[in-house]
Amino acid sequence: MTLASYQVPAKECQIEQEVKRSKFLGFVAPATSRQEADDFIRTIRKQHPHANHVCWAYIAGAPNTTIRSMSDDGEPNGTAGMPMLKVLEYSGYGDIMVVVVRYFGGTKLGTGGLQRAYSDAVSQVLTDLPMKLKVARTTVLLTFDYTHDGNISRLLTRYDVQDIEPDYAQQVTLSIAIATSELSTFKAELINITAGNVEVLLPDSD
C-alpha cells in the first residue's frame, strides 16, 4: 500500500569527501521511476568518465515501495550499493536516489572501510538536503448530469484536489487528482449529494 504522504528531495545536491586519498563524490536526486533513476546514473557516468567506480542506490516511489535497486559497480560485493541503500531505507525518504563516484587514491580500504566510506557519503549528502512533502494522489474520472455541477464543485473545495480538468458535453466529465487518503470519504459524499447519479472511474487502477 502506498503511504498517504512522505518526504522527497526538493532538488539535487552533491558533496565531496576524501578517505585515505580516495575521493568520493556523493550525489542525490529525485527519482519517481526506474527510468528517471537510470537517466540520472547515465548523466553522472558521462560527467565522470575516468572514475574507478560509479555506485548507486534508489527507492523510486514511496518509502515502502518494492521499486528499489543498487549497484556495487565493480567494488567487492556488498561494500557499496547495499550500504548506500540501507541509509536510504533508514532515512524514511521516498522518490530518492544516490550515486557515489569513487576515484581510487592508491590505498585499499578493505571491506569495512568501503562500507563506511559509501554509507558516510550518502549520510553526508542527505544531511543538508532540502526536502518537501509529497502527497499520494489518485486520479478519478467523474461523469454526471449538469444538475449536479454546482454541488460537486462546492464539494471539491473541501478536499485536497489538484489537476481539475472538466469536459462539458452531453454530460459533465471531470478528471481530478485527489489525495489518496481522502478518496473513500470523498466517494461516499459524492454518492450522497448526487443520490448515486454519478459515475466514478479510477483510471490509475488495473
Q: Are 82 and 29 in contact (CB under 8 A)?
A: no
Grid coordinates standing for 124? 553526508
**For residue 206, what pLDDT is reported?**
40
Q: Which residues of 155-189 are buried (b: 16+ CB within 10 A; e: fewer)?
A: bbeeeebeeeeeeeeebbbbebbbbbbbbeebbeb
Q: Are 83 and 98 in contact (CB under 8 A)?
A: no
Grid coordinates standing for 127? 544531511
Render pLDDT for 138-168 as a digit per residue (tens, 0 to 9). 999 999 999 999 999 999 999 999 989 999 9
Helix (H, G, I), strand (E, B) or coil at 81: helix
Q: How confident is the model at residue 4 (pLDDT cuts 50, 70, 90)?
A: confident
**For residue 128, what pLDDT is reported?**
87
Angle, vertex CA 115, rays to CA 108 and CA 100, nearest 5? 90
Residues sharing a CB contact under 8 Å with residue 16, sequence separation 6 or more, in sequence order: 23, 24, 25, 26
Helix (H, G, I), strand (E, B) or coil at 48: coil
CATH code reported for the domain at 5-133: 3.30.230.30
Render pLDDT for 185-197 as a digit per residue (tens, 0 to 9). 999 999 999 999 9
67-92 average pLDDT score: 96
Pairing of strands 131-135, 172-179: unpaired
Where are the chain's structural domains? 5-133, 136-201
Whether 203 shows a pLDDT value over 90: the answer reads no
**For residue 170, what pLDDT is reported?**
95
Helix (H, G, I), strand (E, B) or coil at 99: strand
Grid coordinates standing for 193? 449529494
Q: How confident is the model at residue 68 (pLDDT cuts 50, 70, 90)?
A: very high
CATH code reported for the domain at 136-201: 3.30.70.240
**For residue 1, what pLDDT is reported?**
55
- Output the average pLDDT for the chain: 94
